[in-house]
Amino acid sequence: MKSFSLLSVVDHLMPRGLAEAVANESLGTADVLAWIAEFDARKLYLPAAYPTMYDYCLRELRMSEDRASKRIRAARAAREFPAIFEMVADQRLSLSAVVTLAPKLNRENAAELLAAAAHRTRAEVELLLTQRFPSADVPTSLRAVPSPQNESPGALMPPEALGEISGASTPSMESAGLLMPGPSEASAHSPAPGRVNSAQGAPLGTPAAPRPRVAPLSTGRYELRVTLDQATHDKLRRAQALLAHAVPSGDIAEVLDRALDALIEKMGKRRHATTSKPGTKRGSKSSRHIPADVRRAVHERDGGQCTFVSEAGRRCAETRFLEHDHVHPVARGGQATVANTRLRCRAHNQYEAERTYGAGFMREKRQAAKSRGEYAKNLMGRRYARPQSSSSSSSSPSR
């Protein structure tokens, strides 16, 4: 077993040993990026029953959330601009610098921008980007900032009307791997310096409001901390008023629990036709239509979870972005029955379609669908943007 004690190393050998260890680490990091980039490009996480590369890094490779997110974004940037691999390997670029640079890199500026960023810290890279891509000045404004003692997430009702809210500092749910989704697979990069933080309405670099989070307090007990805008605040106040007879204290936890029950019931009906009083079965002219009773039965049978199973026997754990998939495709005579329908997450539904029809065919179908959607959007925009003369709008007879 390797010993990590360095007590026997004399002082004058320590600098060289540390430098070699760091160099080996950088070379290893570049190697990891190359593997992640190729693995991600081939989408080999899908046959392993993971919906995203992020999930694969977390669950299969046992990476931390931050480590996985940073390496995936850096790997995607390096696959597009291979010079990054060498620059990370020989320590000219850190992972943080790569992630910061990535949103601004393109075919025209990559070589020059990467060279300019060599041997710079992340803060220095941010400054470099603000010089190359300046943002407009922020308008002068004055806004109220709540004092620390008034920053309670439940400060919507008088203290005596609220349940107990803990202000203890606890680890975020992101570190526990619960309730916090991973980085979007569609958006691989973080906002670049100088861009506006849309969630806060302020430029990056200014103090931001605390991130929404759910943190464990004790067994079965959690702290929810979130910043609300005025409209959402007003909705919560309205919900407290409507529930005054049932929840006279206005306890936010109970109001939220009831609101989530209502939302789950509503979305369950919409997505999976769940209901306590099934109606009569209705026919449909479309062979692709899945009747409500079939959707209910499939959702209950599959447990609201993707059913894809890897060759090693691992079932995909995704419960979001679920779609109904035909075991035997409709195009080949499949019917919308319970036995022929299953739940698949969006990623594995697409993966199954590519295995059935071929990746090239599905790519063309997706591109055609995208073109139709853009055409319809442009057509609708022109229709509503068409000017109307005052005479035609005021004097034309109705038909």
Quote the pLDDT of residue 215: 72
* Token pair for 100: 């910061």
Distance linking the first and last C-alpha atoms of the chain: 89
Cβ(191)–Cβ(201) below 8 Å: no
Q: Where are the alpha helices (DSSP H) in the chain?
A: 14-41, 53-55, 65-80, 83-89, 95-101, 110-117, 122-132, 173-176, 230-242, 252-272, 292-302, 346-357, 359-385, 390-395
Q: How many angstroms separate the CA atoms of 206 and 208, rounded?
A: 6
Distance CA 95, CA 200 (A): 26
Q: Per-domain residue ranges for the chain? A: 17-132, 163-178+209-277, 292-382
Q: Contact 57/71 with Cβ under 8 angstroms?
A: yes
292-382: what fold?
Answer: DNA Binding (I), subunit A (1.10.30)
Task: Kindly report, residue by residue over 47-103, the tens digit of the pLDDT.
Answer: 999 999 999 999 999 999 999 999 999 999 999 999 999 999 999 999 999 999 999
DSSP secondary structure letter of residue 347: H
Q: What pLDDT was estimated at residue 386? A: 53
How far apart, in whole angstroms, are the C-alpha atoms of residue 337 and residue 322? 18
Question: What is the structure's pLDDT at 205?
Answer: 40
Q: What is the pLDDT of residue 97?
A: 95
DSSP string of 222-244, one letter each residue: EEEE----HHHHHHHHHHHHHTT
* Residues 308 and 344 sit within 8 Å (Cβ to Cβ): yes
Stretches in the chain below the pLDDT threshold 50:
148-209, 388-399
Residue 241: the pLDDT is 86
